[in-house]
Amino acid sequence: MIDIEKIRAETPGINFSTHLLACGSSLMPQSVVDVILEHTQLEALMGGYEAEEKKIDELNKVYETVAEHIGAKSHEIALMENSTVAWSHAFYALPLKSGSRILTSEAEYAANYVAFLQRAKRDNLKIDIVPSDQNGTLDINVLEDMIDESVGLIAISWIPTNGGLVNPAEKVGQVAKKYNIPYLLDACQAAGQMSINVKKIECDFLSATGRKFLRGPRGTGFLYIKEKWLDTIEPVMIDHFGAPWVEKNVYELRQDARRFETWENSYALRAGLGEAINYAEKIGIDLIHERVQLLAGENRKLLSEIKKVQIRDIGMEQCGIISFSIEEKHNPKNIVNQMSDAGFAIGLVDPESTLIDSEKRNLPTLLRMAPHYYNTVDEIEKAVKQLSLLL
């Protein structure tokens, strides 16, 4: 059982507002803030390089922490400043022959899709969208049917930014493995709300962010690169950290995934990310998932009882993000502002964030609510009540 009272006591943000937007950026536990402040303070007292040296063992441990959290090995992890940078590093480094096809999901995130478009233009690639089944989930059978020798990459979002859908990441991994196709998984919205095991998923690359369900600081993320790629994959951009300059005309790539990193970093934030993952692990990711499911289910049910609200979540399995639209006469941004004035943090998602899905389903700007395990049913009831008064 999660000790909610304790967790709430360790989360100062709950006293400021009722925060229901973990899919945007969630509330950090105090211990995460403490670790960041402590390292920053040390930098102020000793100097940044000296603080790094003093804390090097703890800082190196963050790689193990991330790796253990997702079932990887620490040399398969690179720490990054966000999910997009992590994802892009893997995507742009992958050699894809002219004429190859990228298979992706309808729910793909804008940052990923514009990168597909850029490489499609530059490297003569084709982007093929795997249709969803009647529930809105990526259709695994169709995915398999679409495979031939021209497919160079499968890259999908496990959970999209615009709602509750959970795509079948593991089943996609089975198909990718069967046909020996590289598989890049965007786990940005999954990390911290459900268990991740890269061995079970069988992905080659996985990207995630710190600030969302993981409750880490902004400006953090990570990239997993399966060991086998470390023999061959070369980052598009390198510096002398990722690729030491060993002779006048020679550089040597690091052996580990940190070849994608650069020399300068925010060590305070990295320490904060490590603490956020430790904090989640202490609670237990399965318990977190169970509670997020419970709260999201309640949130979805209460919203669906408001006539002027239309729930827009699709998929058989649904997660902690609840998306909904309201009557056209209301401006969603004004509603978010009015909710904020009343002490409730909820959010918006524009159609452009997931354009393929938004066009297919003719979605307007949606409102999003995403409770985390530190929220309570009482908070959700009050938030939904407040919303109903505004509509």
Ligand X SMILES: Cc1ncc(COP(=O)(O)O)c(C=O)c1O
**Closer of 219 and 343 to ligand X (Cβ):** 219
Q: The tokens 């398969």 sit on which residue?
A: 76
174-186 burial code (b ≥16 CB/10 A, e <16): bbbeeeebbbbbb
Pick from 76, 106, 139, 186: which binds ligand X (CB under 6 A)? 186
- 375 contributes a contact to ligand X by CB under 6 A: no
- 373 contributes a contact to ligand X by CB under 6 A: no
**Closer of 290 and 350 to ligand X (Cβ):** 350
The least CB distance from residue 111 to ligand X, in Å, is 6
- 209 contributes a contact to ligand X by CB under 6 A: yes
- 188 contributes a contact to ligand X by CB under 6 A: yes
- 25 contributes a contact to ligand X by CB under 6 A: no
Pick from 109, 116, 373, 374: which binds ligand X (CB under 6 A)? 109
The least CB distance from residue 120 to ligand X, in Å, is 19
**Closer of 328 and 352 to ligand X (Cβ):** 352
- 83 contributes a contact to ligand X by CB under 6 A: yes
For 221, 233, 234, 263, 288, the CA distances from 239, given in Å and listed in that order, are: 19, 15, 12, 7, 39
Judged by CB under 6 A, the chain residues 155 through 184 that form the site for ligand X are: 157, 160-161
Cβ pair 364, 282 in contact under 8 A: no
Type of residue at 218: R
- 221 contributes a contact to ligand X by CB under 6 A: yes
The least CB distance from residue 161 to ligand X, in Å, is 3
Pick from 7, 14, 111, 283: which binds ligand X (CB under 6 A)? 111
CA distance 88 to 97: 18
Neighbours of 242 (CB within 10 A): 22
- Which range touches ligand X (CB under 6 A), out of 32-40, 77-85, 130-138, 274-282? 77-85
Region of residue 104 (phi > 0: left; psi between -120 and 50: alpha; otherwise: beta)? beta
Alpha-carbon torsion (195, 196, 202, 203), positive or negative:
positive
Contacts of 307 (CB under 8 A, 6+ apart): none
- 332 contributes a contact to ligand X by CB under 6 A: no
Pick from 65, 105, 167, 189: which binds ligand X (CB under 6 A)? 189
The least CB distance from residue 109 to ligand X, in Å, is 4
Binding mask of the shown chain, residues 36 to 75, with x at each position contacting ligand X by CB under 6 A:
----------------------------------------
Q: Which residues bind to ligand X, rule: CB under 6 A?
A: 82-84, 109, 111, 157, 160-161, 186, 188-189, 209, 221
